[in-house]
Amino acid sequence: MRYKVNIKKTDEGYAVWCPGLPGCWSQGETEGEALENIKDAIQAYLETVGELSKNKESRYVEVG
């Protein structure tokens, strides 16, 4: 899967976040490190959402 991420240079390095996943953010000393770190953050985010929605009634919808 591909996720759009925003990245911003800061005094400490780079901040990166995924606007489609509220609260999912990371950082790194370099842009490359920040982008690698956000991959781990997205994976952890999705695993947590999966655990929280386990055994809940769900549906899928197609958009677009």
* Tokens matching residue 45: 């985010």
Q: What is the pLDDT along the chain (64 residues), one digit of tens a residue?
A: 999 999 999 999 999 999 999 999 999 999 999 999 999 999 999 999 999 999 999 899 999 8
Domains (range + CATH), the chain:
6-52 (3.30.160.250)
> Can you give the pTM of this predicted structure?
0.85
The 3-state DSSP class for residue 8 equals: strand
Supply φ then ψ for residue 13, to 5 degrees. Answer: 145, -120
